[in-house]
A and B are shown apart, each in its own frame.
Chain A
Amino acid sequence: MANNGENPSPDVGGKTVKLKADDGEIFEVEEAVAMELQTVKSFFDDDGVSYDTVVPLLNVSSTALAKVIQYCRRAVELRAKSGDDEGANEKAREEREGLEAELVREESDEGIKELILAANYLNIKDMLSFLCRAVGDRIKNKSVEYVRRFFVLENDFSPEEEERTRNEVAWAFEGVDAD
């Protein structure tokens, strides 16, 4: 697996694209991988933009971008593996699910949010989709206080109103993970 700071050497003869993260770090990636990022694809779809142009991704940190590139590279490889063979398809699907699980397993809440913002900005549908699922899994047994911290929500209920709203569904507060 590529380290965060290293840029993997491009395939011989393959076209590459340069992506610049918010701190100025440049990532050189294979064209097929770069096109997974719809934002980048749209950038080059504009007439007259040459493939040598460095794509400025001002809203994405280099940490996040490195992980995104790593994910997309593996995703492209796995997609190439699957074809008509049902067995191969199933194996590729399992591998992709393993890849997704691995990506989020070690991530803190802040880390996952950063990845979501990156996937959202870069418009990578599949990645955004599984990240949302991962967050859903992470928070489904959590308390209201946890969720307020996670999404940075202000509690704008008066104490009476909050009590009333809670009592409407008191049973939904059973079995919640301790914070």
Chain B
Amino acid sequence: MTRPNVGENSCQSRLKQYLMTYTKARDRSSPDPNPASQPSDMPKLELDNLPSDVITDILCQLPVKTLLRFRCASKRWRSEIDSPDFIKLYLSHSLATKSNLSLILQRWSDLYSVEFDSVRAATELINPPLKDEICTGVSLSCNGLVAVWKNYRQDQELALWNPSTRKHQILPVMPVEAPKGSTLTTFYGFGHDPISDDYKVVRMVQFDGDHHGSVQVRVYSLKTNSWRGMKDDAIPYFVHNLFPYGRGCGALASGALHWVAPGESGGCCVIVAFDLGVEEFRIVPQPDGVDSGSKVDVVVLEGRLCMLCNYDSGCVDVWVMKEYGLKESWTKVFEVSRDCFDVCSQSSFNRNFGQVKPLAYSKSGDKILLEVDMDKLLWYDFRRKRAERVRIEGAPIPFSADVYVESLVPLGGGGGMDRKTQQPPEEKKKSKRKKIMDDFLSKYFNKLTL
């Protein structure tokens, strides 16, 4: 039973509204320099000098490394920087103003970071945890966190990692319990559920690598630091189609992870979504007017679900679902073709015009950064309809790019010392889920009516 999309949208938008209201409350419409409209759980910094909300504004501009250092300035500053309200505000401010952004370039388990503001800046290498033991996979980032893992047959190690704060948390082991002699195909998804304000990892395993082999789904929640299992009969038939093609960590949009699965016997492919809130699968409708002959992929573009249709003619259409769940809101935002890249050396594009992945709009909105063929980054100018290549010193080839926002989102400890193996997973409890949703709605709804 799926949740109605309306309910899901209004929860998302309430969270956004809350954050917007919070920032608007700090804009003064009266000359009074000490507004009473701040949320009451934010520690007040009444100093002789600058008002506390101005200080908060300034703190939002700073990179995470600086904030972590400035925690030592005074007890009040430490409480403010550590407070959940500031952490949320910092994140939403960074996303809204496109500050404290970078690109993570990934080549297998090697990671490089490139500043977004000056994409020409040389890259740095970051060391994820588990690296010493050859971590084999890194997920897309979400609110400054990534999931990292190494794949063994039975014993899969997973950690959540915040590269900005350099903290990580090793997950309790969830054994795969594969039947003897079977082959496995595994992939992961990672994202944030805004309803319960929880970070979750989804692990999907298929035994026997066969289209109709059995599929096992497990979900980890950071809040409870535990895994939950999904009943076999709760897994719809179309999830099986994700294997063996499924890869990547799913595009996170509106609290759900998305993958593309091939359709039944050569028909149109489908967009499969896993809702991180209710932990259920569903299919997302595609726009009308997409040629079934095109190759489809889904990514996320600035928080919205984005569909890429790659036509053999050397053209890629980019669609964005402006209102999540609403089929009519699919909008073709632009298209790129081989002709647009006349600035670059033609030879690179003579082969089949391959993968194009939009990453982010520029701050002024007149250009979009594209990852092309996993070995180039280009700024595409909408007005001039031309692309400009971005050269990055020290970039790996091939690479997969991901937009990363710095954040202070906390992770417990950093050790793997007392890693526990979990007992057989609990089945999820629907009533508990509903209570979390009700609590969230009443809490945030009350804050909105301040």
Contact = CB atoms under 8 A, between A and B. Distances in A.
Interface string A29-56: 0000000001100110000000000000
B302 interface: no
Interface in B149-195: 165-166
- Most chain B beta carbons < 10 A, residue from A129, A147, A153: A153
Given A42-B29, A139-B62, A156-B75, A144 B49 contact: no
A121 B33 contact: yes
A121 B57 CA distance: 15
A12 to B, nearest CB: 32
B58 A136 contact: yes
A91 interface: no
A141 B51 CA distance: 22
Interface stretch (B63-71, B313-321, B427-435): B63-71
Nearest to A150: B49
How many interface residues does chain A have, given as a range? Answer: 35 or more
B290 interface: no
A67 interface: no
A128 B54 contact: yes
Interface in A119-139: 120-121, 123, 125, 128-129, 132-133, 135-137, 139
Interface in B366-382: 366
A144 B72 contact: yes
A116 B75 CA distance: 24
Nearest to B67: A172
A90 B69 contact: no
A68 B49 CA distance: 19
Given A140-B62, A148-B74, A38 B29 contact: yes
B62 A136 contact: yes
Contacts, number: 101
Contacts of A169: 68-69, 71, 165-166
A153 B61 CA distance: 19
A164 B288 CA distance: 60
Contacts of B28: 38, 120, 123
B55 to A, nearest CB: 7
A176 B366 CA distance: 35
B51 A140 contact: no
A127 to B, nearest CB: 12
Contacts of B60: 136
A78 interface: no
A152 interface: yes
Interface of A, secondary structure class, is: helix
Contacts of B66: 139-141, 172
A116 B71 contact: no
B223 interface: no
Query: Which residue among B31, B50, B54 has the maximum number of chain A CB atoms within 10 Å of its CB?
Result: B31
A128 B69 CA distance: 25
A86 interface: yes
Given A42-B29, A155-B73, A140 B63 contact: yes
A113 interface: yes
Interface in A64-121: 86, 90, 93, 113, 116-117, 120-121
Contacts of B73: 144, 147-148, 151, 153, 155
Contacts of B48: 152
Contacts of A139: 58, 62, 66
Given A136-B62, A144-B73, A169-B68, 13 more contacts: A42-B29, A42-B30, A86-B383, A90-B364, A128-B57, A135-B61, A139-B58, A140-B61, A144-B69, A144-B72, A147-B73, A157-B75, A165-B72
Interface of A: 38-39, 42-43, 86, 90, 93, 113, 116-117, 120-121, 123, 125, 128-129, 132-133, 135-137, 139-141, 143-144, 147-148, 151-157, 162, 165-166, 168-169, 171-173, 176
16 contacts: A42-B30, A42-B31, A90-B364, A93-B364, A117-B50, A120-B50, A123-B31, A125-B27, A132-B54, A136-B62, A139-B66, A147-B73, A151-B50, A151-B73, A155-B73, A168-B71
